[in-house]
Every structure is written in C-alpha cells, then in structure tokens.
Structure 1
C-alpha cells in the first residue's frame, strides 16, 4: 500500500526547511567579490603593457577594490539591515554590470581604476545579503544553526578564489584582458534575474529590522579614517604621516558620534558589550594577514629566488586552496567553532615557523607540503569565524556585522601587502622572506592566543534542533 503525504503535512515539512531557491542568488552574489579579487592577478601585466604603466601604477587596480570593499561592506551591510536584502542585492548587481561596461571601453588606466572602485562597491551587497537571508531563514524555520548552508557559502568563495586566475587566463587568451572586466556583465545579469525572481519582498526578520535614520556622518568619518589608514599602509612613505593624524582625528570623532547616535552606523555600545564579536574580527584580520603574506611574499620568492615561472609559482598555491575546500566541506557541519579555531590557528603558526627554515636548497616537495598545510587553517579558520559572527551578532545587525567581518579580512590583506613591500622592497630574497615570516608568526600567535582566551566560543553554534 502506497502512502502519500497530505498537503498539510507537506506544507509543514517545507516550512521547517531552508528555502533552497535562495541558495543560487546567495552564492552567486557572494562570489562576485572573491572572483574579482583573484581574476585581476593575471590581468596586471597585459594591462600594464597596454597602457605603458609600471607595476606600481597597475597595483592600484588591486588596491582600489580592497579600499572600496573594506569601506563598502559594512556600509552596504548596514543598509541591508535597514532596508532588507532585495533592493541592495539588485542595486549591487547593476553596479557590477556598469563596472564591466566601463572596463570594456576604458581608454586609460585611471578609468580602469574607477571601474574597479565601482566594482568593489557593487560586490559589497552579496555577502551581507546572504548572511541576512540565512539568519531570516533560521528564524522562519526555527533552526538556529544552518551550518550546511553556511558551509556552502564558505566553500563557494574558496572555490572561486582557485578558479579566478585560471578563468582569467582563459579569458585573456581568447579575448584579451578586457574580457576579465566584461565577464561581470553576464554575471550581473544572472544576479538580477535570480534576485528579482527568488529574493523575497519580506522576510522573517521584518519585525526586528531597525527603521532608524541612516547614520551618514558616522559612515563618512569611518570611510575617511579607513581610506587614510589604508593609503598610508599601501604607500609606506614617511612623508605621508599626516594621513595617520587625519585617521586618528576621524576615529575620535567617529567614536564620539556613534556613542551618541540613536541608530549608529557601527554600534560601539554593542561591540563594547560583546567582546567575543570584537575578538572574532581581530582573529579574522590576523589570519588574513598571515594568508595574504604567504600568497604575496612566498609566490614572489618562488619566482625570484627559486627561478620558477609565474605559472609554476601559481600552481604551488593550488594545494592550499584545494585543501581549504576539502577541509571546509568535511568539517562544515561540525558545530564546534572553538576546536576549529584552535586547530587551525596552531597549524597556521606551524606553517609560518616553517617558512623561517626554507632556503635556496629546500626541495620543492617540502615547499609544496607547506602550501598544502596552510590549506588546513584556511578551511577551518575562515569558516569558524564566519559561523561565529552569525551566532554572535544580533539579528537586527547581522548584515552589517558580516560586512565588518569582510572589512577585517581586507584590512589584513592591506597589512600583508605593507609587510611584503617592507621586507621585499629590495627583491624577494630569502632573508626578506624570513623577515616577512617573522611578522606572520607574530600574527598567527596572536590569533591562537585570542582563540584560547575566548572560552565563550565553546557555547557558540551548539544546535538546539536539527541543522538544515
């Protein structure tokens, strides 16, 4: 005898499941930033040749996206908290498409940099919107820890970071460097189509959404302080010290304004009341500093000191990303965030210490093992910090909190770029690599200390119902 479920029971079962229709727009939107961060790495040389620009000038194509994203993520995230994800997601997709068109027709490097700024702002909506929707679905279904969906989000970003340079190389081979900008046009169209069809007009966080006035002054002060600081770190010139004075002054005013604003851009009172959330941002920044120091410095050292071709040096990074994807996929549903952070931070510290021992005679297989090992913390730490923010941030500020997590990552990337420029300014020598590794050891050790000190992480993410 065949038993069929009644419509009522089917509807009840669906109401307790994550809406799978949301996954495609969430993942595609979240991938916009990492794909544009990685695809540009293979475009810098041909762009420099096309516009007769030095590496120092083309580097602004990378920095422009970092600065725009570091500022834009929490700004757009706050707007998502206030207005909901749908409008911001669609507006971001439009900006991504516009940036693709600008890059397709640009006739000078300055216009390309402007396109990257627009691209950075446009890509800011995807990740905060995804985190907001995951929290809204968790509220609707009653499942407090949808770790399966959070894992999909993390793994997709890691995967696209691997695919980006390869895709860029294929596009350049077929249609030239402009194709690495133009590829954003069809992706933006796909985001618009999926977002318009699948993102809800209303959601389960509607009743908790904050409707206060947007804090424009606090946003501007935050942006100026961050731009001034990042410009100083990227340029690393002593004569630019006034930028640090500007940054300090803006930060002081920012704190004054935010503590007195009824609906602040960054709720400093909330951060003061939730030290674990601040610690998560700090760990994420430190881990990003380690990862990007490895990517920037180790890759250059392989080319200059070990005479590897750019293609061969790039292939040395593949084990790291492959391991990260595998580790995230295997451990994603495990709710023990603190265990992931402790293991990941310890391995990260060991890899940095290993860099202090490499030299011109180190066999390539040993170097490959180092990159392979670095994939373990990549897979554990990034996923654990993402899940920690999901549980530590209040529902009404989940999108802006997720945006600040991405900001902390890009601040770490800029710190890594500054350290790389400092230690490898005279060339990617072994002694320079050892100096960079020493800085990475300090950052990794601090990340481990923060994970050890925060015992509240042992209670974060413990599910009360079956996970989605």
Structure 2
C-alpha cells in the first residue's frame, strides 16, 4: 500500500479536522451545560434533582446510541452515518434555544445525545481504516490528538458556558450547537471518503432485534439507577428480562449486533470497559457534582465556577501531551488511580469558606486522572478490540463511560437533593473514595496491561 502525497507516515492528515470536529460534539455539550444547570433551575423554578435530568437525558441517549452507531459505521462506513447524525445536533440546538420549559429542554438533550453518537466511533473507524490502507499502525500521535481535542473542548466548555450565560443567558449554551454542527457537517461532507464501504456478504443483515433488546434493557437499567426506589423495581425486572433475551438473540444470530462469544473471550477488553465505568463515575462527579457545589455550597457565579474548573481540564491536556506518545497503559492507569484517590480525599477538606488556592489545588489534582484515563482507555480499546469491530467497540467504551455519568448523576441526586451543599459533597466524596479503591485494585492486578493484547479473532472480518 502506498502513502498519499504529503503524508510523511502514510496517515492522511486531511482527515484530522473532521475526525476532531465530530469527536468533540459530545464533550462540548457535557461541559457547557455544567455551569448552566443552576441558571436553568432558577429560570424554571426546578431543584437540582430535576435539572440533573439534563445530564441524564444526554447520556441515556448516547449510551444506547453509541454502539448502534458504531455497528452501522462498521457496516456502511463513517460518512453515511456521520452526516445525518451531525444534522441532528444542529436541530437539537434549535430545539433547546426555543425551549419553553424544562421538559422541552430535556427532549432537546435526548436529540442531542443521538446526534453526537457517530462522532467518536467514526473517528476510531477511520483511524483503523487508515492503518489497513497504509499497512502499518496509525501513529500514536493521531490517537493522542483525538484524546487531547476532546479534553481541550472540555477545558473551554465551562468557561465558555459561563461567558455565554453572562452575555446572552443560558439559552446560548444550546444555540452554540448550531454553528459547531454546521462546521462538522461541512468538514465531514468534504473530507470523509465518499465511496460507500464495500459490504461483506451478509453484512446488510443488521441485527435489529438485537439492537432493540440492547437498547430496551439498557434504558431500563439506567432509569432504575436514576430512581432506585421500591416503586421502580419493575424496571430492574424489565432490564433482566431484556438482557436475557439479548444474550439468547446474540448467541443464536448469524450476524449479531455484539458478538458475545468473541467479546466473552476477550477478557482484557471487558476489564477495560469495567475500568471505564468506574473512572467516569468519579470524573463526572467532579465535572458536575463539584461544579454545582462551587455555585451552591461555595457561592460562586456561573462564570466564576467555570474559571475554577479550568485547571482541571488544563492539567488533563498537559498530562496527555506528556504521556501521549507512549502506548503503554498500565503505568498511566495506576497513576490515574492514585490521582483519583487524592482528588476525592481533597473534597473532604472543602467547606463554604474554602480558600481559592484550595479550589485550584483540587482542580489540578483531579486533572491528572482526567488526562491519563482518557488516553489509556482509548488506546486500550484500539489495540484490544477486533479491528473489524472497532466502531462498535469504541461505541461500547463510550457507553460504559456514559453509564458512569448516569451513576454519577444518580448519586448527586441522592446526596444533594434541592441544593448542592457541603454535607452532600462530603458524603459523595466518601463513596467516590471506595470506587477509587476498586479501580486501583482492578488495575494493579491486571497482568494483561503489561503487554499489548492480541484480541481473539484479530484477523477475522465480519462474515
């Protein structure tokens, strides 16, 4: 295979702009909304437990949609899925900007969640396709750019959200989606490979029943986690029944949505998904729970809270830049685990009169695992997943991350109630310390992290 003109290592650098533009659609909406929750609650007279649905709605939709979008991308190629999904992002921006009530806003966030599903799986699929085209692994710098770009948009997200709210109110945080979706759409239309991906025999037999069972059981699980009361136990029953039906379907289907046999033999990849769940419970608790406390418990404005979180994301970027060219993940994950424990412990020292320098220290420490986990988990999936299934595997990584976000949101609703006060923050921090200990244990004793894993079926293609 030959490299395209002007590409020193064979990778087509013209793909970087559309890759990044699609991958950042979800994180920008994750971080911008963080400082808008309190103003939205004030505008509609809603408590923190109600505005938490703005977080949950996005991640509920994306948790279901990411692996589905990834499978469609593996089958049809990135372009036919990426472009309509990006158009949905722009539509969600319009719906949110015109929203007359909180329910309307939640619906806009659901549409936004489905719209942002295609960006990350499309990026991972294109990186893998470039590796196949050139006959060599895509350079580590490309995966690093992908990871850093999502963190960079996270850096400017809270500050940008605070600035937009100060200038035009919280509605501007939804209107922001209109121009950025337009940019992503144009870049994808101009630079993504235009020819449809050749389909292998039987690949058009999409496992729609499997997708439906997966989505139904996952929605039931996430809704139960949001409201785990006695009156909602029927959701747990639905989730178990749906999961059982999904397992039977996938084990007997000729072309399954998720090949459970192959996935079950890939222990390293399964453990990576488990680590992602734990890591993102902690990460999103800092992103949302800590940010809400800064406004309620510490009394900062939305703009000030956004600025106070800047060191968290800036540290994450710096850490990714320093460690990005090294593909080894074990050391990164161990250091990230220790950083998580230190950050959670620091939360226990905060109160309503906490000094500004202490707030900066908390953000700096929390930024270390932010940078290391994002890069290490992404690199793990890239090397552990079957290349033919990289889109769906990348989507599942995001699904477990979003499941972590939902768990985090549920915990915040349980510990905070009407407002994010200091007592609730301390209770949340104690639980996060326990989760951090589990993350450290499942990382320190995983020997597969010391070597590059060859996944079962690595040389297989989807029949």
Structure 1 residues 124 and 88, CA gap change in structure 2 (3 angstroms): same
2:102 paired residue number: 109
1:142 paired residue number: 135
Cα deviation, residue 154, structure 1: 0.8
1:278 aligns with 2:259: no
1:27 paired residue number: 20
Q: Name the SS of the counterpart of 1:92 in structure 2.
A: helix
Cα distance in 1, alignment partners of residues 158 and 318 from structure 2: 19
2:381 paired residue number: 389
Report the TM-score when normalising by structure 1: 0.89
Q: Name the SS of the counterpart of 1:262 in structure 2.
A: coil
Cα distance in 2, alignment partners of residues 425 and 40 from structure 1: 19
Aligned length: 454
Structure 1 residues 63 and 360, CA gap change in structure 2 (3 angstroms): closer
Which deviates more from structure 2 when the two are superposed, residues 68-77 or residues 222-231? 222-231
Structure 1 residues 300 and 42, CA gap change in structure 2 (3 angstroms): closer
Instruction: Please give the residue correspondences for 1:118-267 in structure 2 after superposition, counting only pairs within 5 Å.
Output: 118-202=111-195, 211-267=203-259
Report the TM-score when normalising by structure 2: 0.90
1:415 paired residue number: 407
Cα deviation, residue 135, structure 1: 0.6
Cα distance in 2, alignment partners of residues 254 and 195 from structure 1: 34
Counterpart among 313, 322, 327 of residue 330 in structure 1: 322
1:98 paired residue number: 91
2:284 paired residue number: 292
2:459 paired residue number: none
1:366 paired residue number: 358
- CA shift digits 1:64-93 (9 cap, x unpaired): 111111111111111111111010011111
Cα distance in 2, alignment partners of residues 135 and 199 from structure 1: 14
Q: Name the SS of the counterpart of 1:317 in structure 2.
A: helix
Q: Name the SS of the counterpart of 1:264 in structure 2.
A: coil
Cα deviation, residue 53, structure 1: 4.5
1:456 paired residue number: 448
Cα distance in 2, alignment partners of residues 77 and 370 from structure 1: 36
Structure 1 residues 200 and 39, CA gap change in structure 2 (3 angstroms): same
1:400 paired residue number: 392
- CA shift digits 1:185-211 (9 cap, x unpaired): 2222222221111101359x8587971
Cα distance in 2, alignment partners of residues 53 and 420 from structure 1: 15
1:69 aligns with 2:37: no
Structure 1 residues 209 and 300, CA gap change in structure 2 (3 angstroms): farther
Cα distance in 1, alignment partners of residues 366 and 441 from structure 2: 19
Which deviates more from structure 2 when the two are superposed, residues 336-345 or residues 427-436? 427-436
Structure 1 residues 217 and 343, CA gap change in structure 2 (3 angstroms): same
Tell me if structure 2 keeps the 8 A contact 1:82–1:209.
Answer: no
Cα deviation, residue 426, structure 1: 7.2
Cα distance in 1, alignment partners of residues 166 and 301 from structure 2: 18
Q: Please say which structure displays the higher CA radius of gyration.
A: 1
Cα deviation, residue 144, structure 1: 1.7
Tell me if structure 1 keeps the 8 A contact 2:383–2:453.
Answer: yes
Structure 1 residues 367 and 209, CA gap change in structure 2 (3 angstroms): farther
Cα deviation, residue 100, structure 1: 2.2
Tell me if structure 1 keeps the 8 A contact 2:18–2:188.
Answer: yes
Cα distance in 2, alignment partners of residues 143 and 344 from structure 1: 30
Q: Name the SS of the counterpart of 1:241 in structure 2.
A: helix
Cα distance in 1, alignment partners of residues 453 and 321 from structure 2: 17
Structure 1 residues 256 and 429, CA gap change in structure 2 (3 angstroms): same
Cα distance in 1, alignment partners of residues 219 and 329 from structure 2: 32
Tell me if structure 1 keeps the 8 A contact 2:89–2:181.
Answer: yes
Cα distance in 2, alignment partners of residues 39 and 32 from structure 1: 11
CA RMSD of aligned residues (A): 2.7
1:446 aligns with 2:438: yes
Tell me if structure 2 keeps the 8 A contact 1:16–1:140.
Answer: no
Tell me if structure 1 keeps the 8 A contact 2:35–2:292.
Answer: no
Instruction: For structure 2, list consecutive stretches of 5 or more residues without a partner in the other structure.
Output: 455-463
Counterpart among 380, 387, 402 of residue 372 in structure 2: 380
Cα distance in 1, alignment partners of residues 444 and 201 from structure 2: 34
Which deviates more from structure 2 when the two are superposed, residues 384-393 or residues 97-106? 97-106
Cα deviation, residue 160, structure 1: 0.8
Cα distance in 2, alignment partners of residues 115 and 281 from structure 1: 28
Tell me if structure 2 keeps the 8 A contact 1:387–1:461.
Answer: no
Cα distance in 1, alignment partners of residues 104 and 312 from structure 2: 34
